[in-house]
Structure 1
Amino acid sequence: MSISQQRPWSGDFVADQLDVAIHSDPQSAVAVQDLVGLALRRNPKRAHLLVSAVLAKHVPTEPALVMAAGELLGAFVASELALMPDDGGHPRTLPATGESSLTTAAAQLSAVLQGSPGKRHSAIAAFAETVAGLRTVVTDAVVLGYAETATGLGRLVANSLGAYYLHSTRHATPSVVPVAGFEEGHSHATSHALVPTDPHWLDGNGPVILVDDELSTGSTVINTIRELHALVPHAVYVIAALIDLRSSSDRARFDALATELDCKIAVTALGKGRVELAPDILPRAAELIQRLQPPASVSPVPAANPKPAGRLSVLELSSEDLTPVRSDRFGNISPPNAADIDVIAKALSHLVGTHKCQGPLVVLGCEENMFLPLAVANTLASLLPAGDVRFSTTTRSPIVALDQSGYAIAGALSFASHDLTHDGPGIRFAYNLNGTGQRPGTIVVFPEPGTSREDVLTGSTTPDRPGAGLQPLGLALAGIADDVVLVLLPVDTPVRGNQPANIHSSIPSSIDTEVTP
């Protein structure tokens, strides 16, 4: 039974208004409707947005659920690889993931998603325990995640396989020259770059795993495989997504590409199905958005705030406290050290307790910076069992907020960007932090490591750029929560050819507090 049969589905409004029909494949491991809801994009190329229930990009979600769902996708990849020969034509000697184990884990995930948030902790714990037993080491694999939405998901898949990981980026990287780039046609920000610092990152003979949150047409993946194959040809490519909604003609394009490149291309997903869209969906969506929110409100402006601004605190850690953080956009052979995650989580737990911060507590990553704050949120949830800890991230994507049942985005917060990106300053967003029943008591926000407090408190818009006049991230968040904690971490800015050091320090962390100006 899917969510839509138990209570209003968070895609009902868009489905009804725009005649969007999502059909889950009977053989799908998890029903597509359980995995996603629907919202309206502000994008002339794509009317609707599939809002994931397990990605925590747009919906604050229990961190343990996000981590286990991502690692389950990694187990699906391992199962797919077990069916393929290696580069020499020999059967792979992977531990048997076991079809029954995958089926059990998928059923547990379905049960979690059909439950009510806040009342499914034990079900999530059981699901996570099952998934932990499915980890399979594939050391010769290279895992590539897509910015910005799937950077954390790709890291989770890489963790489950014990594999090297790199994600694409839209950030400016002055110290590293891109080795490849590709376009994502329907995205709000289309250009991706690959900036690995290891010149031999793709030289092995193992499988290349491409990870995204959804496959709609697969065009971005096809562009990527062509780019990668031109750099170093590989025999096996596996595409892993939370949901696969490609049409039969799109699937045929993958088969044709495999024949053209003389390689194997496999696709695996937690949910499989298809989507039906009315031929006039784009003009209908534009009319609907205009009717719901007149043109004067299309350009986001700071919402009126009847409450005084919340308290703003800063937790600033240095290289004496933990290993400087190297972004996965540069390629990493392993995730951040568990000991460093513990240092950050314990420092936060101490600050929250000392300041008597109230829940619910949302840990908020920023755009591509998803996995490290997710891991901290997961540890923090165990340190603050009564704190109702959730995880989410900011995004570039402009989405219509509609505070009503049957819609996936109840509230939208807009603010000025602060990161250095190729396309310059602009508007950024955080969703489902305001709106009916959405308001967190405390928000813990993780800007990109190396970000200064001035960046987060002033933003980077200019008078002639989108977002001019909006508040910076720190002040915008302080307008919707009682407490906001900015976590500033040291950064490892790499140079080409260097790999991350495997060291860490356990020197106690430092904390200082500021009052919002």
Structure 2
Amino acid sequence: MGAMTLKPVENKEVYHVLNNLTVEVEVMNNPYNFQLGQLFQMAARINKNRSFLFVSKVLGKHLAVNPKIPLLVGSLLAIRYLEVVHGESDARAEKIAKAIQTNEGLEEIWASLQKDPVTLPRATTFVGFAETATALGHAVFSTFSNHAKYIHTTREQIDNLQSIINFEEEHSHATSHRVYALDSEFFQDDSEVVLVDDEVTTGKTAINIIRTIKAEYPLKNKFTVVSILDWRTPEHRERYRQLEEELDITIHTISLIDGVVSVSGTPSTEENGLKTENTFRPEVVYLPVCHLLSSENFQQSASTSVNGIINKSSYLHATGRFGLSIEKEKEFSNRIQAVASYVKEKRRGEKTLVIGTGEFMYLPMYLASQMGEGVYFHSTTRSPIYHTNLNDYTIRQKFIFDSPENQGVTNYLYNIQPNQYDEVFIIFERMSSLEAASPLIEELSKVNIPFINIVNMTEIVE
């Protein structure tokens, strides 16, 4: 382990969140001996169905991370899946876990996975859940070299395309999931379906989509639910068993931490974040990169935002939103690499933040991972979390703004302190107009970032 020795994991942890909320976590399975604090911190959630949130330290959503870490978390889950479901082990699993735990050796193990990707014994369909797990699902999928295809669910309303699967999510802020596969037969085979989410609490979301898929595609009989954290109670676990019997299917579960959570009390939720005077004016640079991509990279579809604004700009096929084979993923990678090189050349600072937007997380994360040293990554989110600067609480700053891609939806960005970064690159898949980014730019100007770069992957069509 080098100079750093990891303490053995305690079987039980108790978290006191904003005084009156107590969350007790009992760990039952921890195959790579993570300390809980290496994977998450606790926060209070603004949601009537669930008062707390495990804020991931390895996902690149709410908290900034080295972009290689979420990519490697996907690879670790991919290798764990291969071992548990197919009985094939990969000796690199422990090295990946150690790199994530210590933040050391990330480049070396990442290079090994690129040079020698993991092989799948049979055809497998990976599905990432919007919003938070679109990148995690993609990172699991892209670990493999063969037999893999990927799609992620979306909450966007895409015009003139038919969603082939629709289902609901529990305790979420936007519950309807849609799946827009361009190939109407994307699920029309007997390949195993691997559902990827960042966290499983009750398992109801997975049950909902498994029921929907099985009803629409009767050939499907093997499913696996993959997550970083799995907090299902014994009763919830029993529901998976009952579903297996009822539908005559098999459901495996894979996670890095598997345990039981009990909650008491309610958080004291008077918000008291760090206030900043908004007098700073950053230099804002618009960096279109669509000239580096080819026409086959684009999906010419419009969308309608929740408040009726039509966005006519193209989507990207490389996101996996419309279905993506591992072969196509490799084809697209050269173009994405060209974008990364172009954006890297525009860096001016030593400490750079790259921001993904909403469901558009994987490609910005991957771009960030190719932009050199001193680069951090996280993403805007729909998820409202309480913020306060009291008592070492997790979420200390909160920026609130209208979603640049889906106007009418409130978005958030957390924990950017004044003078923390030399520059920021905000990576958009598609913008309805340049003005759509103004609310986010206005919020970021509160924290004295000298340079804000707007990287737009597709051409604006107004």
- Asked whether the two chains share a fold, i.e. TM above 0.5, the reply is yes
Q: Which amino acid aligns with 2:336?
A: I
SS at match of 1:238: strand
8 A Cα contact 2:230 2:259, kept in partner: yes
Rounded Cα–Cα distance in structure 2 between residues aligned with 1:52 and 1:309: 31
The Cα shift of 1:221 comes to: 0.5
The Cα shift of 1:342 comes to: 2.3
For the pair 1:365 / 2:356, whether they are aligned, the reply is yes
The Cα shift of 1:213 comes to: 0.0
Uncovered stretches (5+) of structure 2, i.e. residues with no partner: 299-315
Cα displacement string for residues 205-228 of structure 1 (whole angstroms, at most 9, x for unaligned residues): 111000000011111100110011
Query: Which of these residues, 139, 156, 159, is aligned with residue 171 of structure 1?
Result: 156
Cα displacement string for residues 436-471 of structure 1 (whole angstroms, at most 9, x for unaligned residues): xx73221100122354323223xxxxxxxxxxxxxx
Give the structure 1 partner of residue 433 of structure 2.
452
Query: Which of these residues, 57, 61, 66, is aligned with residue 65 of structure 2?
Result: 61
SS at match of 1:39: strand
Q: Which amino acid aligns with 1:483?
A: F
8 A Cα contact 2:72 2:96, kept in partner: no
8 A Cα contact 1:13 1:407, kept in partner: no
The Cα shift of 1:3 comes to: 8.1
Query: Which of these residues, 124, 144, 152, is aligned with residue 106 of structure 2?
Result: 124
Query: Which of these residues, 335, 340, 362, is aligned with residue 345 of structure 1?
Result: 340
Alignment of 1:79-118 (within 5 A): 79-83=83-87, 96-98=88-90, 101-110=92-101, 112=102
Q: Which amino acid aligns with 2:427?
A: F
Q: Which amino acid aligns with 1:97?
A: S
Give the structure 1 partner of residue 311 of structure 2.
none
Q: Which amino acid aligns with 2:21?
A: L
Q: Percent identity?
A: 25
The Cα shift of 1:144 comes to: 0.6
The Cα shift of 1:474 comes to: 2.6
Give the structure 2 partner of residue 442 of structure 1.
423
Alignment of 1:431-510 (within 5 A): 431-434=414-417, 439-457=420-438, 472-480=439-447, 481-490=449-458
For the pair 1:332 / 2:313, whether they are aligned, the reply is no
Q: Which has the higher strand share?
A: 2
8 A Cα contact 1:31 1:271, kept in partner: no
The Cα shift of 1:360 comes to: 1.7
SS at match of 1:337: helix
Cα displacement string for residues 271-295 of structure 1 (whole angstroms, at most 9, x for unaligned residues): 21221212xx3xx22xx003x45xx
For the pair 1:219 / 2:204, whether they are aligned, the reply is yes
For the pair 1:316 / 2:311, whether they are aligned, the reply is no
Cα displacement string for residues 86-118 of structure 1 (whole angstroms, at most 9, x for unaligned residues): xxxxxxxxxx324x54345334433x2xxxxxx
Give the structure 2 partner of residue 191 of structure 1.
176
Are residues 317 and 204 of structure 1, via their aligned partners in 2, closer, same or farther at CA, if it must alter by over 3 Å?
Answer: same
8 A Cα contact 1:4 1:33, kept in partner: no
For the pair 1:150 / 2:133, whether they are aligned, the reply is yes
Aligned residues: 426
SS at match of 1:289: coil
Q: Which amino acid aligns with 2:72?
A: A
Query: Which of these residues, 387, 399, 416, is aligned with residue 402 of structure 2?
Result: 416
Rounded Cα–Cα distance in structure 1 between residues aligned with 2:400 and 2:425: 17
TM-score (norm 1): 0.76
Are residues 143 and 258 of structure 1, via their aligned partners in 2, closer, same or farther at CA, if it must alter by over 3 Å?
Answer: same
Over the aligned positions, Cα root-mean-square deviation in angstroms equals: 2.8
Q: Which amino acid aligns with 2:444?
A: L
Query: Which of these residues, 262, 265, 277, is aligned with residue 305 of structure 1?
Result: 277
Instruction: Tell which deviates more after alignment, 331-340 or 138-147.
Output: 331-340
Cα displacement string for residues 157-205 of structure 1 (whole angstroms, at most 9, x for unaligned residues): 1112341111111111002111221111201111111111110100121
Q: Which amino acid aligns with 2:356?
A: G
Rounded Cα–Cα distance in structure 1 between residues aligned with 2:19 and 2:117: 39
8 A Cα contact 1:145 1:154, kept in partner: yes
8 A Cα contact 2:27 2:260, kept in partner: yes
Q: Which amino acid aligns with 1:446?
A: I
Structure 1 moving runs of 4+ over 6 Å: 1-6
8 A Cα contact 1:178 1:196, kept in partner: yes
Cα displacement string for residues 353-409 of structure 1 (whole angstroms, at most 9, x for unaligned residues): xxxx3242110000000111111101102xxx3xx1011000011111223564322
SS at match of 2:251: strand
Rounded Cα–Cα distance in structure 2 between residues aligned with 1:389 and 1:427: 27
TM-score (norm 2): 0.85
